[in-house]
Amino acid sequence: GIVAVARSDNRPMLLARLAVPFLLAAALGACAPALDWRELRPEGSGLQLMLPCRPTTQARSVTLAGRSVKLSLVACSAGEQTWALAFADVSDPAVVAAALEELRMSAARNLGAEAHGARSLDVPGATPNPGSQRFAVDGRLPDGSAVQEQAAVFARGTLVFQATAVGAKLGADAVDTFFGSLRFPS
């Protein structure tokens, strides 16, 4: 799914209260107008990105890389797709790589699939990290319907991020616009 983290017992956990309403809206083919791209700077993230719809923001305390953190989620649904950005401050540079890997692996597990097509990701202004990647997942929603996911994980300092696009079909142009808009202004 959109965002997952590990509980203290290290089993993956979908942030259901945050992400599922957005994912279900996309899966059910909610009637949405054409994509209406807008620039956004989520509070506390330092990141600038474009989303194709008006987002809602939620936050929750979760365990990520063995630490209790506040995870913020900014997400919206449009064009039968869900677009999301999740981020958290892990407070310790030594756990950033583990947090990125946990986010990547959990995204695939939540759809009952393996990530594929991983490639390095260069978000302008992000902290260089070998764990910064963009990848794809072809999986299934809880109701069994097929879903595509394009996701990216990256960091700036001790802030870790997961950007995600999910839908029955993802348009390459829209996905490239979304991921291409990620940047940390100077």
**pLDDT tens track for 43-54:** 999 999 999 999
pLDDT band at residue 37 under the 50/70/90 scheme: very high
Query: Under 8 Å CB-to-CB from 3, ≥6 apart: which residues?
Result: 14, 15, 18, 19, 71, 73, 84, 86, 103, 106, 107, 162, 164
Strand, coil or helix: what is 101? helix
Would you state the pLDDT for residue 128?
95
Cα(1)–Cα(112) distance, integer angstroms? 9
**pLDDT tens track for 60-119:** 999 999 999 999 999 999 978 999 999 999 999 999 999 999 999 989 988 999 899 999
pLDDT of 5 above 60: no
Task: Give 11 or 117, the one with higher predicted confidence.
Answer: 117
Q: Supply the pTM of this predicted model.
A: 0.83
Cα(124)–Cα(185) distance, integer angstroms? 8
Cα(157)–Cα(128) distance, integer angstroms? 9
Query: Under 8 Å CB-to-CB from 23, ≥6 apart: which residues?
Result: 1, 2, 82, 141, 166
9-18, 27-36, 101-110: the lowest-pLDDT one: 9-18
Query: Under 8 Å CB-to-CB from 101, ≥6 apart: which residues?
Result: 131
